[in-house]
Amino acid sequence: MHTTPIGKFIAGIPKAELHLHIEGSFEPELMFEIAKRNNIKIKYKNIEEVKKAYRFNNLQEFLDIYYAGANVLIEEQDFYDLTYAYLTKVNEQNLIHTEIFFDPQTHTDRGVEFSTVIKGIRRALKDGEKQFGISSKLIMSFLRHLDEESAIKTLEQAMPFKKWITAVGLDSSEKGNPPSKFQRVFEMSKQEGFLTVAHAGEEGPAEYIWEALNLLDVSRIDHGNRCLEDEALVQELVKRQMALTLCPLSNLELKVIQELHHHPLNTMIDKGLLVTINSDDPAYFGGYMNENYFGIAKALDLSKKQIYQLAKNSFHASFLDEESKKEMIAKVDEYYRVHG
Ligand code: ADE
Ligand code: ZN
């Protein structure tokens, strides 16, 4: 794909990522390396066996394996290596800005200190900025299969590191865990000055997207695919120009869609929704940003102009300040002027 005209265009265009779980960028090679130095046993014999296990029928099957993988992360250096490996990879893909989720409870529930997690990630982000010129924001995500009390405790643990965190989010098992369960902790987070986002409408119903808008006061919806089942909701999202952070390869691998050409991206664009392309958990779903763009461009026969618009949307929907947004969008415009 990257040798075709549209593939080359995708590979080179400056882009931002707005939906990436850092634990989901944990490549098996690094997982084995870190497991070895931490003396932790992995239940797979080798990398081929791990990759064979990455076949999922739904979100929960994936989450079970994703949390098991994260178990080998213990030391600050592990979180550093994980994050730096992601930045090294996406730097080759002309990513110039990224907004990264981390799931503190996945680690604090195993006895790893909150400070260990965030210090490792933060140091890698700062080094990555120096080394690659990639800017970043951090989003602390609450696990929705746990109770609100645990989320409140996590918010308290985050307080000493408040200036490093831009927003709070909501992820993990969606069905049966509606946004309303976390209304209070989101309210508390907003009072501390955090922006809010939430996964909604990936597997859960359109009603959960309404709740994310009305009860959690989100600035973006992560996924949001199932908004299309409710026309009034679509109109509301369009009216608010509420960004959806779509993840095509994730949708395919978790059977939200059966084939990539069934992806509703074009319908969403036609309805005037503000959509962006993201990788979600690239180590598990077969690709980083460019592979997501390649896949969806091929499946839906997207034009250079549409790719250009998607890349612009990624900056427009970001949490960058207006000045930085303008500068980065100018780079996208210039790229389109030369290569479009
Ligand atoms: N955590 C990591 N990836 C996720 C996804 N796609 N949905 C919900 N929680 C997640
Ligand atoms: Zn996600």
Summarised one tens digit per residue, pLDDT across range 43-97 is: 999 999 999 999 999 999 999 999 999 999 999 999 999 999 999 999 999 999 9
SS3 per residue for the chain: CCCCHHHHHHHHCCEEEEEEEHHHHCCHHHHHHHHHHCCCCCCCCCHHHHHHHCCCCCHHHHHHHHHHHHCCCCCHHHHHHHHHHHHHHHHCCCEEEEEEEECHHHHHCCCCCHHHHHHHHHHHHHHHHHHHCCEEEEEEEEECCCCHHHHHHHHHHHHHHHHHCCEEEEECCCCCCCHHHHHHHHHHHHHCCCEEEEEECCCCCHHHHHHHHHCCCCCEEEECHHHHHCHHHHHHHHHHCCEEEECHHHHHHCCCCCCHHHCCHHHHHHCCCEEEECCECHHHHCCCHHHHHHHHHHHHCCCHHHHHHHHHHHHHCCCCCHHHHHHHHHHHHHHHHHHC
State the pLDDT confidence band at 289, using cuts at 50, 70 and 90. Answer: very high
Which atom of ligand 1 lies at the shortest distance from residue 174's CA? 8
Residue 327 has pLDDT above 80, yes or no: yes
202 has catalytic annotation: yes
Summarised one tens digit per residue, pLDDT across range 5-18 is 999 999 999 999 99
Q: Which ligand is nearest to the Cα of residue 102, counting in written order? A: 1
Nearest CA to ligand 1 atom 6: 280
Candidate list 23, 27, 99, 202, residue with the active-site label: 202
Computed over every residue of the chain, the mean pLDDT equals: 98
State the pLDDT confidence band at 3, using cuts at 50, 70 and 90. Answer: confident
Q: How far is the CA of 119 from the centre of ligand 2 (A)?
A: 22
Summarised one tens digit per residue, pLDDT across range 193-202 is 999 999 999 9
Residue 323 has pLDDT above 80, yes or no: yes
Domain span at 285: 5-339
Nearest CA to ligand 1 atom 9: 172
pLDDT of residue 151: 99
Region 282-303: what's the mean pLDDT? Answer: 98
Residue with tokens 């960028």: 25
Summarised one tens digit per residue, pLDDT across range 181-214 is 999 999 999 999 999 999 999 999 999 999 999 9
Residue 228 has pLDDT above 90, yes or no: yes
Total count of domains within the chain: 1
Q: How far is the CA of 238 from the centre of ligand 2 (A)?
A: 22
User: Which residue among 56, 101, 172 is best mutated to probe the pocket of ligand 1, counting the most ligand atoms within 8 A of its Cβ?
Assistant: 172
CATH number assigned to the domain comprising residue 140? 3.20.20.140
Tokens of 140: 């602390």
pLDDT of residue 75: 98
| Percentage of the residues of the chain whose pLDDT score is greater than 90 | 99
pLDDT of residue 156: 98
pLDDT of residue 1: 72
pLDDT of residue 133: 98
To the question of pTM greater than 0.85 for the whole model, the response is: yes
Nearest CA to ligand 1 atom 8: 172
pLDDT of residue 2: 74
Residues contacting ligand 1 via CB (< 6 Å): 21, 24, 59, 66, 171-172, 199, 202, 250, 280-281
Summarised one tens digit per residue, pLDDT across range 238-254 is 999 999 999 999 999 99
| Percentage of the residues of the chain whose pLDDT score is greater than 70 | 100
